[in-house]
Structure 1
Amino acid sequence: MSSTATPSSLDIRRVAVVGAGTIGASWAALFLAHGLEVVVSDPGAHAEGQTRARVQAAWPVLTELGHVQPGASPDALRFEPDLEAALAGVDFVQENAPEREDFKIDLFERMDAILPPHAIVASSSSGLIMSRLQSRCRHAERFVIGHPFNPPHLIPLVEVVGGSQTSAATIDRSIAFYRSMGKHPIRLNKEVPGHIANRLQAALWREAIHLAAENVATVADIDAAVSQGPGLRWALFGPHMTFNLGGGEGGLAHFMHHLLGPVQTWWDDLGAPDVTPELQRRLIEGVNAEAGHRSIADLVEARDSQLTALLKTLHR
């Protein structure tokens, strides 16, 4: 990756959010809470109304978590459907367009031609490779992956990884910017499809599907095996540190000495399910039974309320 001199993250005051879906609106709320000048761009007919409603809905939680800076207001959001007008004079772009490589390549080329040279473009892409997305850009050094976890205004994680033409300065500046927004950015040393967190999620879900396919337990009980067990520990430590604690005073070395053999047999027995239409139907029926009478909106409200309580506890 190349290295060029760029302004510091402290110079980022104007931010454009391109793509106003759930993720884009969540990002916009967070940026607004930190007192930035925020413009959202999306050509959708109902995008502005939906974005403003989502930002307003996120504001009480951001206030409760202490993210809202003095003078910040959700009403400061500017909406501009025209991309060229939206990008005029901005310092940082958080892109949230559809997860299609061809679409993003075209979009990045368009944005690259509009933006001032110092501006960074960070993509919320959940798994695409930046080296390909930046391939037609003249200023490819300023493009980077900044993948959040949903919802971005609550979940601290941001995965940051550059492409083959991304400058080291862009990566450093992006990490510093996200950290100034109260996020927990992590640096990937190399590009992999799905980055880190989604690959870990996918690995766990694959085995959860296998267990359901083999009728080891119901969908609800398989979910409970995570949420009522290791998921609680994972809110505090990742898998390596969790097993380090599992080894007692001897730490991970003791754990591996005594339990790596059994764990290896479990790895060898993990499934690779064929997710047929019939299996998909069973999974959907299972998760609907788990949800009961709760709507998606009810579940999201419960999730965000409990996430807020957990985050407040963790940051005491």
Structure 2
Amino acid sequence: MQKEEIGNVTVVGTGIIGASWTCLFLAHGLDVVATDIRQGAEAELTAAVERFWPTLPQSVLASGQRGTLRFAADLEAACAQTGFVQENAIERLDAKIELMRRIDAATPADVVIASSSSAISVSDMQSACARPERVVLGHPFNPPHLVPLVELAAGARTQAWALDRAEQFYTQLGKVPVRLNKEIYGHIANRMQAAIFREAVHLLETGVASAEDIDRAVSEGPGPRWALMGPLLTYRLAGGDRGMQGFWDMFAPMQDKLWGELGAPVPDAALQARVTEAVEQSYGDRSVSALVKERDIRLRQVLAAKRPPQD
């Protein structure tokens, strides 16, 4: 399905993720109907879209496209004539199941319903739906209007056509979809992030380095490589001409020792307080809004640099 055939996109939940999705949809000429029960959500969404707009990739801005944005207070009205639903509501299982039931009941039968859920399974979310076959995971990485990744997954009752249609739609928006072969808590990227964050907390807790130096070790070390290739391909290259097997031959004992020594801190209240204090000591002199603005500008530069080299 071409994006032009979709027409309207409904965005359910207009917090940071929902607003970023909205910006991306609008920039590709799609009309958006947004809905959120929070007081002041409409004004917040409008302000967020205007704030995000200048940070869109130059190639997207150059098209000059901008769809129309309409806010609907009523969920059922927002879904009644939509061509695609992107749900971004609270990460609470009971609330998500009920919300998906209502979206499903209000949305035309052949329309894909995609959830941005960071961890809840599609099988759970679709459990109360009359037409669960069109419910899929469409989990972005923040901010969705810049970061290409979108993770796709089916639930126990999802049909293949819904995943195919979602993948085609996201690809036309410049996203890079990856498919999970099976459901797992946290999907792929969040689990990878959690593993790195856990070790960062362990290194901080055991006094190995400051918060700033731990961050710098990643952003100035493996980080630039990870922007170009993932950890598996990175280690294949480390194995030289013999590839992955060459890596194992050289580094398996070291990996075994490292894996055995990785930390497993428990995020109780005391640990949270200590980590928060350490991070604030390193970064507390700058506001979150200033750091986000700088991040998004640099993200756009990194993504531009990732374009395939010209012969």
Using the TM superposition, give the Cα deviation of residue 251 of structure 1 relative to its aligned residue in structure 2, in angstroms.
1.6
Partner of 1:4: none
Aligned counterpart in structure 2 of residue 222 of structure 1, from 187, 211, 214: 214
Secondary structure at 1:66's aligned position in 2? helix
- The alpha-carbon distance between structure 1 residues 8 and 33, as it changes in their structure 2 partners (threshold 3 A), is closer
Q: Distance in 2 between matches of 1:187 and 1:107?
A: 24
Aligned partner of 1:146 in structure 2 is 138
- On the 8 A contact 1:27/1:153 being kept in 2, the answer is yes
Matched, 1:73 2:66: yes
> Is this contact kept in 1: 2:28–2:66, CA < 8 A?
no
Counterparts of 1:280-295 in structure 2, within 5 Å, are 280-295=272-287
Q: Structure 1 stretches of 5 or more lacking a match?
A: 1-6
Per the TM alignment, residue 180 of structure 1 is displaced from its structure 2 partner at its CA by 0.4
Deviation at 1:275, TM superposition (A): 2.6
Q: Normalised by the size of structure 2, how large is the TM-score?
A: 0.95
Distance 2:183 2:89 in 1: 20
Query: Could you tell me which amino acid in structure 1 is paired with residue 69 of structure 2?
Result: L
Aligned to 1:307: 299
- 8 Å contact from structure 1 (residues 131, 163) kept in 2: yes
**Number of the residue aligned with 1:3:** none
**Alpha-carbon separation, structure 2, partners of 1:124 and 1:177:** 15
Look up the match of 2:40.
46
Corresponding residue number in structure 2 for 1:55: 49
> Which piece of structure 1 moves more, 89-98 or 306-315?
306-315
Map 1:29-178; keep pairs closer than 5 Å.
Answer: 29-62=23-56, 64-68=57-61, 70=63, 72-73=65-66, 76-178=68-170
The AA in structure 1 aligned to 2:286 is R
Q: Which amino acid in the other structure matches residue 29 of structure 1? A: C
- Aligned to 2:248, the other structure's residue is in SS state helix
- The answer for unaligned runs of 5 or more in structure 2 is none
Q: Measure how far apart 1:54 and its partner are.
A: 0.8
Give deviations 1:163-211, integer Å, cap 9, x for gaps.
Answer: 0000001001100100001000001110000000000111111111111
Matched, 1:190 2:182: yes
* Equivalent residues, number: 308
Task: Please tell me whether the aligned partners of residues 34 and 68 of structure 1 are also in contact (alpha carbons under 8 angstroms).
Answer: no
- Measured after TM superposition, the shift of residue 127 of structure 1 is 0.6
Measured in 1, the distance between the counterparts of 2:52 and 2:129 equals: 34
| CA distance in 1: counterparts of 2:266 and 2:64, whole angstroms | 53
Q: Partners of 1:59 and 1:280 in 2: how far apart?
A: 34
Indicate yes or no: 2:290 matched with 1:298: yes
Task: Give the 3 Å change call, closer, same or farther, for CA 16–33 of structure 1 in structure 2.
Answer: same
Aligned-partner Cα distance in 1 for 2:267–2:129? 38
Q: Matched residues in 1 for 2:248 and 2:266: separation?
A: 32
| 8 Å Cα contact 1:33-1:69 kept in structure 2 | no
Q: Distance in 2 between matches of 1:99 and 1:287?
A: 25
Rounded Cα–Cα distance in structure 2 between residues aligned with 1:240 and 1:168: 28
